[in-house]
C-alpha cells in the first residue's frame, strides 16, 4: 500500500511541476495557438511522460525528460514579443532549475524538522512520499510569493494576502508533520488522501489568488484614473473661477469708467484711489507666463496661490524648460501630483516651509527637480519611496515617468526631500 502512496505522491509532484511551468509560460509569453484544449492535452501528455520516467527512479533520466519537454513546449507552442526562441528555451530551463533547487530546500527542511521532532517514518516509501509532498508545497509557496513578482506586471498584493499565504504554508506544514507522526499506524490510504489534499489545496489557493491579484491591479488602475480626472476637474474649476471673475468685472466696466470720470471731475485723489481698487481686482486675473506651455503655466499659477495661502516659500526656475512634447493630461498628472505631494509635506513642517521646482532641458532629455522641506527623513529604498508610503498620486507619477522612458530618484538631504526626474523628449 505504501508503494501506491509513493506512486500517487510522484503523480501529484508531476502535476505541480507541470502546473507551475504552464503558469510561468502563460504569464511571461504568449500562446502561439488559440485552441485552449490543445494546451490542456499538452499538459496531460507532459504529466504522463514525466510520470513514466519517474517510475524508473533515475534522477539524470528524469532531469533529461523534463528539459526535453520544457525545451520543446517553449520552442513550439509559445512565442515572445522580445525574447527569441533560444532565449525562451534558456529562460524556461533556468526557471525549472530554480524550481528543482526549491524542491531540494523543501526536502532538506522537512527532513530536518522530522529529525528534530523525532518523528521520522521508518518506512522509506512513506518518507519519500512526505518529502515529495512538502517539497512541492515549498515550490508553490515560493513561486506565488516570490518568483511571480519578477515578471508579472498585472499584480498588486495586499498585506492580508501575504498573511494568507504564510498561514496556508504553516497549516500545510503542520499537517504533514502530523502525518509523519502517525505513520507507524496502518493507514496509508488515509495518509495518501491527506497529503494529496494539502498539495491540491495549495494549488487552488494559488489559482484563486491569481484573480485576486488582477482585481487589485485593476482597482488600482481605476483609482489612478479617477485621481487623474479629479486633477482635471480642479484645473477646470480654477479656469472657471477666473473666467467668472473676469466676466463680472467686464460686465461692470462701463459703470466703473463712469464712476472714475465723475470722481475725477469732483476729486482727483478719490479717482486715483478708485482706480487702485480696480487694479487690485484685476491683478489676480492677469495671466502669469511661467513657461510657454499654457497648461503648465496655469497649473503653476494655481500652486503659487496655494503656497501663498499656506505660507509656503515657493521657488520656481522653469523659464528655460519646454514641455510641449508631453500630453496635456500627463502635464497635469505629473506636475500636479509632484507639487501637491511637496506642498502637503512642507505644510506639515513646524519651521521652514519650502517647495522648489526646477526644469531644465539637457540635449534630448528634460530634467525635473522638486524639493520640499521635511521635518524627518522619508523612508527610501533604492532611490524610491518605500511601498507602504506610496499613494495613488505617487503611482500616477511613476506611470507618467515610465511612459516617457524616464527615470526617477528620491533622496533625503539636510531636512529636505528631493525628487529628480529625467524624461525622454523623443518619447
Decide if pLDDT at 287 tops 60.
no
404: pLDDT confidence band, cut at 50, 70 and 90?
Answer: confident
Share of the chain above pLDDT 90, in %: 2
Collapsing DSSP to helix, strand or coil, 46 comes out as: helix
Q: Do the Cβ atoms of 289 and 297 come closer than 8 Å?
A: yes
Distances (CA, A) of 69 to 89, 136, 239: 10, 19, 63
Note the pLDDT of residue 246: 59
- pLDDT, tens digit (0-9, with 9 covering 90-100), for 65-94: 888 998 899 888 998 766 678 888 888 888
The helix, strand and coil proportions of the chain, stated in percent and rounded to the nearest 5, come to 70, 10, 20
Q: Report the candidate in 409, 426, 419 with the shortest Cα–Cα distance to residue 366.
A: 426
- H/E stretch holding 385: strand 384-385
DSSP strand pairing (354-362 vs 313-317)? parallel
Least reliable range by pLDDT among 262-266, 338-342, 402-406: 262-266
DSSP state letter for 356: E
31: pLDDT confidence band, cut at 50, 70 and 90?
Answer: confident
- pLDDT, tens digit (0-9, with 9 covering 90-100), for 263-277: 565 656 666 666 666
Does the pTM surpass 0.85? The reply is: no
Q: How many CA atoms lie within 13 A of 423 on its CB side?
A: 27
Q: CA-CA distance, 314 to 308, in Å (whole number)?
A: 8
Over range 352-373, report the average pLDDT: 88
Decide if pLDDT at 250 tops 60.
no
Note the pLDDT of residue 257: 61
Collapsing DSSP to helix, strand or coil, 187 comes out as: coil
Note the pLDDT of residue 205: 66
- pLDDT, tens digit (0-9, with 9 covering 90-100), for 210-233: 666 666 666 666 666 666 666 666
Q: Do the Cβ atoms of 161 and 37 come closer than 8 Å?
A: no
Decide if pLDDT at 283 tops 70.
no
Decide if pLDDT at 160 tops 60.
yes
- pLDDT, tens digit (0-9, with 9 covering 90-100), for 313-325: 888 888 767 788 8
Structure-block grid coordinates of residue 113: 524538522
154: pLDDT confidence band, cut at 50, 70 and 90?
Answer: low
Amino acid at each position: 500500500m505504501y508503494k501506491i502512496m509513493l506512486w500517487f505522491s510522484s503523480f501529484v509532484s508531476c502535476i505541480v511541476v507541470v502546473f507551475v511551468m504552464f503558469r510561468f509560460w502563460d504569464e511571461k509569453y504568449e500562446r502561439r495557438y488559440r485552441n485552449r484544449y490543445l494546451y490542456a492535452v499538452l499538459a496531460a501528455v507532459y504529466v504522463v511522460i514525466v510520470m513514466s520516467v519517474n517510475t524508473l527512479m533515475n534522477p539524470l533520466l528524469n532531469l533529461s525528460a523534463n528539459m526535453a519537454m520544457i525545451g520543446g513546449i517553449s520552442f513550439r507552442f509559445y512565442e515572445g514579443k522580445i525574447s527569441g526562441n533560444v532565449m525562451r528555451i534558456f529562460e524556461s530551463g533556468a526557471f525549472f532549475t530554480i524550481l528543482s533547487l526549491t524542491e531540494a530546500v523543501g526536502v532538506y527542511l522537512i527532513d530536518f524538522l522530522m529529525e528534530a521532532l523525532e518523528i521520522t517514518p521508518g518506512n522509506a516509501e512513506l518518507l519519500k512520499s512526505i518529502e515529495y509532498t512538502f517539497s512541492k508545497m515549498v515550490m508553490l509557496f515560493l513561486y506565488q510569493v516570490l518568483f511571480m513578482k519578477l515578471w508579472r506586471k498585472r499584480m498588486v498584493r495586499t498585506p492580508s494576502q501575504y498573511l494568507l499565504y504564510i498561514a496556508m504554508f504553516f497549516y500545510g506544514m503542520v499537517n504533514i508533520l502530523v502525518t509523519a507522526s502517525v505513520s507507524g499506524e496502518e493507514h496509508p490510504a488515509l495518509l495518501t488522501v491527506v497529503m494529496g489534499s494539502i498539495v491540491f489545496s495549495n494549488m487552488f489557493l494559488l489559482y484563486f489568488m491569481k484573480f485576486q491579484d488582477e482585481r487589485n491591479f485593476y482597482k488600482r488602475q481605476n483609482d489612478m484614473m479617477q485621481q487623474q480626472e479629479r486633477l482635471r476637474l480642479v484645473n477646470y474649476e480654477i479656469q472657471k473661477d477666473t473666467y467668472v471673475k473676469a466676466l463680472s468685472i467686464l460686465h461692470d466696466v462701463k459703470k466703473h469708467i463712469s464712476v472714475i470720470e465723475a470722481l475725477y471731475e469732483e476729486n482727483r485723489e478719490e479717482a486715483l484711489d478708485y482706480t487702485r481698487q480696480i487694479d487690485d481686482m484685476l491683478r489676480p486675473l492677469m495671466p502669469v507666463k511661467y513657461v510657454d506651455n499654457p497648461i503648465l503655466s496655469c497649473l503653476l499659477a494655481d500652486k503659487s496661490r496655494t503656497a501663498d495661502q499656506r505660507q509656503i516659500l515657493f521657488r520656481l526656475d522653469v523659464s528655460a524648460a519646454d514641455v510641449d512634447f508631453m500630453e496635456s493630461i500627463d502635464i497635469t498628472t505629473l506636475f500636479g501630483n509632484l507639487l501637491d505631494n511637496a506642498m502637503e509635506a512642507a505644510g506639515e513642517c513646524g519651521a521652514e516651509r519650502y517647495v522648489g521646482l526646477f526644469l531644465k532641458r539637457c540635449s534630448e532629455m528634460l530634467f525635473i527637480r522638486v524639493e520640499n522641506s521635511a521635518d524627518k527623513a522619508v523612508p527610501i529604498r533604492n532611490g524610491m519611496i518605500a511601498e507602504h508610503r506610496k499613494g495613488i498620486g505617487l503611482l500616477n507619477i511613476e506611470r507618467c515617468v515610465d511612459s516617457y522612458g524616464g527615470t526617477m530618484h528620491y533622496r533625503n538631504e539636510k531636512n529636505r526631500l528631493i525628487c529628480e526626474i529625467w524624461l525622454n523628449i523623443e518619447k
